[in-house]
Structure 1
Amino acid sequence: MKKNTTTTHGRLAAALGAALLLAGCASGPQANPADPFEPYNRGMTTFNENVDKAVLKPVATAYRDITPQPVRTGVSNFFGNLGDAWSFVNSVLQLRGREAFDSLVRFGTNTVLGLGGVLDIASEAGIARHKQDFGLTLGRWGVPTGPYLVLPLLGPSTVRDTAALPVDLYADPLLAVDPVSARNSLYALRFVNRRAELLRATSVLDAAALDSYSFTRDVYLRLRAAPGQTADDGDDDGRLPEDY
């Protein structure tokens, strides 16, 4: 687990460094032609930040402080394992045989040997994670990202990724959980756990002496624009680092 955390933080540092370079090249509010909705996006970003400061960040901080690290790691592993199943489907749709095989093996191994995914046995065995979603599948087949778009609560997206979002939501394994109360509890747990994982990254953004909006936009667009380019470790094809 320690090795995976170190690798994740390394990817985060690399992404943030690249964003600094991109942000340094910006010359004004209209510097990025991929952001024609900037006035709306900045307004929605402000709304999301206010909700985050008032509700989400305090809840996530309390969750981090109260919940032991091994438990939080198990929760992250569980939801990551569910993600591997959807990554397998998208890798098949993209005709990426090796990535599909890895995702299938990861899901099977962690589900059977990892107590339903609570233990990440596959990563310990060196089986790479290839995070994929339907937006990246559309990109694989030539659909451009389109303009940058900030969604309420969900944050950074693009027109392409927003159009793909209903498919990703419909394919979410949690949708099959019954009763509804248990399903909603899992949704809430995943959201809070995810926000807790981002606490360190948002602290970096808050401390950076630059426009955090442009910073976030440039990182997101850079990593979503070329889904065919795989990172050196093969883990995050076109995806943001886990701690971003």
Structure 2
Amino acid sequence: MKRITIFSLLLILGLTGCAETPNDENLNQTTVETNTDYQNTEDDYNAEGVYDPFEGFNRAMWTVNYDYLDPYIARPVSLAYVDYVPSPVRSGIRNFLSNLDEPASIINSLIMLDGEQAVTHFNRFWINSTFGLFGLIDIATAADIRKPGDRAFGDSMGYHGVGNGPYFMVPMYGPVTLREGVGDTVDGLYFPLNLLTFWQSLGKWAFEGMEDRAALVSQEPLLKDSPDPYVFTRDAYIQNKNFRATGGKSIEEEPADEEYLDEFLDEVDDY
């Protein structure tokens, strides 16, 4: 799904939330108590760059996602897709959709001053588009031109010092920051993503989401064992975005729960 629609909704919700100040007498008492309950837990993570001004709303959306939408819709649908769709068909779909992102990665690699990776993305795109049936077959990898991590405009902004901005939890969609929302909108303007209709973009999002969700099944115990799954997911997400914004270089500050986050981040970064 094109994130511009969701992103516009988030901006409206954000402006509504900004109308309330901490001193507002009408501030919801339940939200205050909830934030107090989790204050000590959040201090244990302390991931750099976390800005969660709408935590009360985000926690409510997390409950919708984690307790209802994921176990009853996203997880079973994703596992059924992986279990019952033939592997060659899934591989072809995955390769084709991945190839569509290569031009955006070329431009963003250049913005991040990484000419070598830009050339790699360029070579992969023209080889797979020409000889791989528009990307259905990953000829480039077979030729030992392996795909580096995708580069998004949100990563490029982070590389040049733009912060993550407010963090949002969107129903069925998952976490997103202001920087990522803007970045994905810009990436959608690049060829060939700009040629996709709304329904084609929705299909791309759905297929990629099913692959990603199925791949994270093995990491579910990490989430269940964490003191606060919401904070764990939020900080792992921000930590991953911080890492991507460095161009794949290590960052000095690590979250306190490194033993939980390392494996989770590795799995997310692979997809």
Give the structure 1 partner of residue 27 of structure 2: none
Identity %: 32
Greater shift after overlay, 106-115 or 39-48? 39-48
8 Å contact 1:134–1:167 — kept in the other structure? yes
The alpha-carbon deviation at position 239 of structure 1 amounts to 10
Is 1:195 equivalent to 2:223 in the alignment?
A: no
CA distance in 1, matches of 2:73, 2:236: 25
Q: Distance in 2 between matches of 1:172 and 1:212?
A: 38
Cα drift, residue 241 of structure 1 = 1.6
1:198 alignment partner, SS class: helix
Question: What does residue 209 of structure 1 align with?
Answer: 225
TM-score by length of 2: 0.66
Instruction: Determine the structure 1 residue equivalent to 2:138.
Output: 120
Q: 1:7 corresponds to which residue?
A: none
Provide the C-alpha distance between the structure 2 equivalents of 1:85 and 1:121, rounded to a whole number of angstroms: 17
Q: Structure 1 residues 169, 152: CA separation in 2 closer, same or farther (over 3 Å shift)?
A: farther
Helix, strand or coil at the partner of 2:169: strand
How many residues get paired? Answer: 209
1:108 correspondence with 2:123: no
Q: Is the 8 A contact 2:128 2:135 kept in 1?
A: yes
Q: Distance in 2 between matches of 1:55 and 1:170?
A: 30
Instruction: Find out whether 1:129 has 2:148 as its counterpart.
Output: yes
- What value does the CA root-mean-square deviation take over the aligned residues? 2.9
SS in 2 for 1:157: strand
Instruction: Say if 1:131 and 1:89 are closer, same or farther in 2 by CA, change over 3 A.
Output: same
1:73 matched to 2:86? The reply is: no
AA aligned to 1:94 is M
Corresponding residue for 2:22?
Answer: none
Say whether 1:41 aligns with 2:58.
yes
**1:52–1:222 CA distance, 2 compared to 1 (3 A):** same
Aligned-partner Cα distance in 2 for 1:169–1:153:
20
Task: List runs of 5+ in structure 1 lacking aligned partners.
Answer: 1-25, 233-237
| Rounded Cα–Cα distance in structure 2 between residues aligned with 1:92 and 1:112 | 23
**What SS class does the counterpart of residue 129 from structure 1 fall into?**
coil
Secondary structure of the corresponding residue to residue 164 of structure 1:
helix
Structure-1 separation of matches of 2:169 and 2:109: 26
Check conservation: 2:75, 2:213, Cα contact below 8 A: no
Does structure 1 retain, via aligned residues, the 8 Å contact 2:92–2:136?
yes
Q: Find the counterpart in structure 1 of residue 186 from structure 2.
A: 167
Indicate if the aligned counterparts of 2:97 and 2:204 stay in contact, CA closer than 8 A. no
**Superposed structure 1 runs of 4+ greater than 6 Å apart:** none
The structural deviation recorded for 1:185 is 5.0
Letter in 2 for 1:209: D
- Structure 1 contact 103–130 (Cα < 8 Å) conserved: no
Give the partner amino acid of 1:162: G
Counterpart for residue 18 of structure 1: none
Matched residue of 2:101: which SS?
A: helix
Q: Identify unmatched segments of 5+ residues in structure 2.
A: 1-38, 251-265
One-letter amino acid of the counterpart of residue 242, structure 1? D
Q: Do 2:101 and 2:193's aligned partners in 1 also have CA atoms closer than 8 Å?
A: no
Match of 1:60 among 78, 94, 100: 78
Deviation at 1:190? 4.4
